[in-house]
Amino acid sequence: MSDTKATISFTDGTPSVDFPIYKGSIGPDVIDIRKLYGQTGKFTFDPGFMSTAACESKITYIDGDRGELLYRGYPIEQIAVQCDYLETCYLLLNGELPTRSKRDQFVGTVTKHTMVHEQMQRFFQGFRRDAHPMAVLVGVVGALAAFYHDSLDINNAAHREISAIRLIAKMPTLVAMAYKYSIGQPFIYPKNSLSYSANFMRMMFGNPCEDYEINDVLVRALDRILILHADHEQNASTSTVRLAGSSGANPFACIAAGIATLWGPAHGGANEACLVMLNDIQKMGGVEKIGEFIKQVKDKQSTAKLMGFGHRVYKNYDPRAKLMRETCHEVLGELGLGDDPLFKLSMKLEQIALEDDYFIQRKLYPNVDFYSGIVQKAMGIPTDMFTCIFALARTVGWISQWTEMIADPDYKIGRPRQLFNGATRRDVLPLDQRS
């Protein structure tokens, strides 16, 4: 129990109340206000959850002031260089980095689940070819639940485990199918002799008429992109997955809800929106027009935002943005695109913004989405697929956080309250008496 407390006193005659304060292993203390309503008849008010810890977790820690991101205590800078994505998945799911034998066993298990039921193909046929791939992905991931009636008992640890494996294993297959469907090419089955990321690249860019040539630099770059996007504590989509899961919904439905939330341009849709922004500035005239665009962004009458900049938690540089910029350099160098106009434009835009008081005062720095679109475009991934790749990567974070919550015997259904300021009680008038 806690030996430190917070006391709330009221000027309206409500008796003051003490609340315990808990310390985490790192990060801000929390005030346990669960008894507030029962003892005072009052709610807290925190739209956007600016000051609210919605849960207890051991998975990912972010220090927004220091620009630090830890997966199970390991700095993202070390994981991105020393691990691959499936090792990172093992770490997020199990809490420890795998030994070589455990890693090989995990990779083998995931690899054996990369195919989807043949009838899944029929779901794609129902979409227009020009449907946004995220609309398709929300649909087909939710539909996975229709194929696994034998393992949807969320209180069964084995069912939770196989669902996590199936989701991690099948997301690349489904994302690649969404892409192939959009361009009218045949679906490419997984080739299990390949690594996770190489398998995905082949399903995306291979075709039945010729062998697909693996480019190790691009495969490693994709693997790093997946690592950087794997988890990020209680962001909007992860909070959605937890809230959906708190009702007892099956994991496939919860992940589909997370995908829907990630789609928003303020969240995972920012990488696509960032590239659209860079293209718009390019069409305006490129580097010479950056000042004009920044002026729009500062204009409160304008809805223009500097996409890929700013973050609710990071009030310093997003450590993932630095690693993503390095990956950008590597990929553009490998592809002979060092003079890529969009990359040069983005670096100039970043430099100007970081020197501008508007952004400095508001502690707005590049986030993970600022460079990820440029590197994915260079790799041949179409802009409207960027957020699908983000969803692919974040699936392990979502399912790890979901598992952590469901495995806690004390979890409750999430049910926030409100500050109501609508119409008070009144009687219905008959239709002809209404004005």
Catalytic sites, residue numbers: 311, 369
In the set 69, 324, 368, 405, which binds ligand SDX (CB under 6 A)?
Answer: 368
Distance CA 116, CA 413 (A): 31
Distance of closest approach, residue 23 Cβ to ligand SDX, in angstroms: 23
Distances (CA, A) of 360 to 229, 281, 350: 25, 22, 12
| 355-383 CB burial, b ≥16 within 10 A, e <16 | ebeebeeeebbbbbbbbbbbbbbbbebeb
> Quick check: 330 and 218 in contact, CB under 8 A?
no
Distance of closest approach, residue 373 Cβ to ligand SDX, in angstroms: 11
Distance of closest approach, residue 425 Cβ to ligand SDX, in angstroms: 35
Using the 8-state DSSP alphabet, how is residue 316 labeled?
S
DSSP labels for 91-140?
Answer: HHHHSSPPPHHHHHHHHHHHHTT----TTHHHHHHTS-TTS-HHHHHHHH
Distance CA 258, CA 118 (A): 25
Distance of closest approach, residue 252 Cβ to ligand SDX, in angstroms: 20
What is the Cα gyration radius of the chain? 24
Question: Helix or strand or coil: residue 4?
Answer: strand
**Residues 300-329: x/- map of binding to ligand SDX (CB under 6 A)?**
-----xxxxxxxxx----------------
179 vs 371, beta carbon nearer ligand SDX? 371
122 vs 295, beta carbon nearer ligand SDX? 295
Is 386 among the residues that bind ligand SDX (CB under 6 A)? Answer: no
Distance CA 316, CA 366 (A): 9
In the set 26, 146, 266, 407, which binds ligand SDX (CB under 6 A)?
Answer: 266
Is 367 among the residues that bind ligand SDX (CB under 6 A)? Answer: yes
In the set 362, 380, 407, 416, which binds ligand SDX (CB under 6 A)?
Answer: 362
Select from 114, 61, 59 the least CA-distant residue to 397: 59
Is 244 among the residues that bind ligand SDX (CB under 6 A)? Answer: no
In the set 232, 242, 325, 377, which binds ligand SDX (CB under 6 A)?
Answer: 232
Which listed range, 288-296, 332-340, 365-373, 423-431, lies at the site for ligand SDX (CB under 6 A)? 365-373
Interface with ligand SDX (CB under 6 A), residue total 21
**Residues 107-146: x/- map of binding to ligand SDX (CB under 6 A)?**
----------------------------------------
Which listed range, 102-110, 159-167, 240-248, 364-372, lies at the site for ligand SDX (CB under 6 A)? 364-372
Alpha-carbon dihedral angle through residues 75, 79, 82, 83, given to the nearest 10 degrees: 160
- Note the residues at the interface with ligand SDX (CB under 6 A): 232, 235, 266-268, 270, 297, 305-313, 362, 364, 367-369
